[in-house]
Amino acid sequence: MIKETVNQFIGKKESPFSSVALVQIFQNETKVTAFITDRHNDGTVTVFVPTGPNPTSGFIYHLNEQYVHPVETSVEDAMRSVISCGAGSGQLIQGLRKND
């Protein structure tokens, strides 16, 4: 079900999301699940922050790289967490701790 939802959302086999990250959109300790969609020469990273449980809507942010923390988890696993309103986010948190 998750794979089908992701494929419908993406609309193609290759994902526009290069990786998963926890981002600090408020430039404080609050972190939200995001998908990196683009990196820019000036150090800015564009991310998509989906809303749960419907990942087809969300917000686009352009953040300084210092506020973007890539995590070691798959896009599919992160999407599963979004669809389940945050349940199963342990993998995201563990992935972040490995990178910090």
CB 6 within 8 A of CB 75: yes
What is the predicted pLDDT for the residue at 98? 63
How open is the CA angle 16-31-81, to the nearest 5 degrees? 55
Q: What is the mean pLDDT of the chain?
A: 86
Residue with tokens 């193609």: 12
- A 10 A CB-CB count for 43 gives 10
In the chain, where are the structural domains located? 2-99
What is the predicted pLDDT for the residue at 20? 95
How far is 19 from 11, CA to CA, in rounded Å?
A: 17
Residue-wise pLDDT tens digits, 50-69? 999 988 899 999 999 999 99
Residue-wise pLDDT tens digits, 27-43? 999 999 999 999 999 99
CATH code of 2-99, in short, is 2.30.30
Helix residue ranges per DSSP H, the chain: 2-10, 75-83, 90-99
